[in-house]
Amino acid sequence: MKAKRSVILLITAILSTAYFIYLIAYFGNAIGGSTGDEQLGAAIATALVLPHMIVVVLGAIFCWLGYFLRKKGFALVGAILFCVALALFFVYFMFTVPLIILGFIGYANQGKLCKASASDTAQTAKTVE
C-alpha cells in the first residue's frame, strides 16, 4: 500500500505557486508598464524583491516535490525556505506567514501519513506470513 499524500501540503504548494505568479505579474507589469523615472524605481523595487522571489519559487518547488514524492523532508525544506523568504522581505509577511504555517503543518501531516502507511505495510506482511 502506498503512502497517502498530505492535502495541506498540496494546498501549500498551490498557494505558493499562485503567490509566485502574483509576484511575477505584479513586478513584471510594474517594469513594463512604466516610463522614465517610474521605470527606474520599478527596476530598483524588483531588484530588492528578487531574492524573496527566488526563495519563494524554490520553496514552491520543494513543496511540490514533497507532495508528489511523498517525502516529508522536501516539505520541511519548503517550509524553511518560506521562513527565509519572510526574513528577506518582511513587507509581504501577510503572504508568507500562511505559507509557513501550512508548510509546517503539511510536513507534520506527511510524516504521520508515511508512518501510518509503513505500519499498515508491516501489518499486511505479518498477516500474509
> What sign does the dihedral 52-54-58-64 (CA atoms) show?
positive
Mean pLDDT within 26-45: 80
Kindly list the distances between the CA atom of residue 14 and the CA atoms of 45, 70, 121, 129, in Å, as whole numbers in the listed order.
Answer: 26, 16, 30, 42
* pTM score, whole prediction: 0.85
pLDDT of 63: 95
Domain ranges of the chain: 7-122
pLDDT tens-digit readout, 70-106: 998 999 999 999 999 999 999 999 999 999 999 999 9
On whether the CB atoms of residues 118 and 104 are closer than 8 A, the answer is no
